[in-house]
Amino acid sequence: MLIIPAIDLRNGKCVRLVEGKIENETIYSDDPVEMARKWEGLGAQFMHLVDLDGAFAGKPQNDEAVRSIVRAVSIPTELGGGIRDMETISYYLEMGVSRIILGTVAISNPKLVEDAVSRFGADQIVLGIDAKDGMVAIHGWDSTVTKTSVELALEMKELGVKRIIYTDIKRDGTLKGPNIHSTLEMAVETGLRIIASGGISGPEDIRVLKELEPAGVEGVITGKALYDGRLDLGEALRISMGQER
Active site residues: 8, 130
State the sign of the Cα–Cα–Cα–Cα dihedral 201, 207, 212, 214: positive
Exposure string (b/e) for 189-203, b if CB count within 10 Å is 16 or more?
A: ebebbbbbbbbbbbb
Considering only CA atoms, give the Rg of the chain. Answer: 16
Instruction: With beta carbons less than 8 A apart as the criterion, state whether 164 and 136 touch.
Output: no
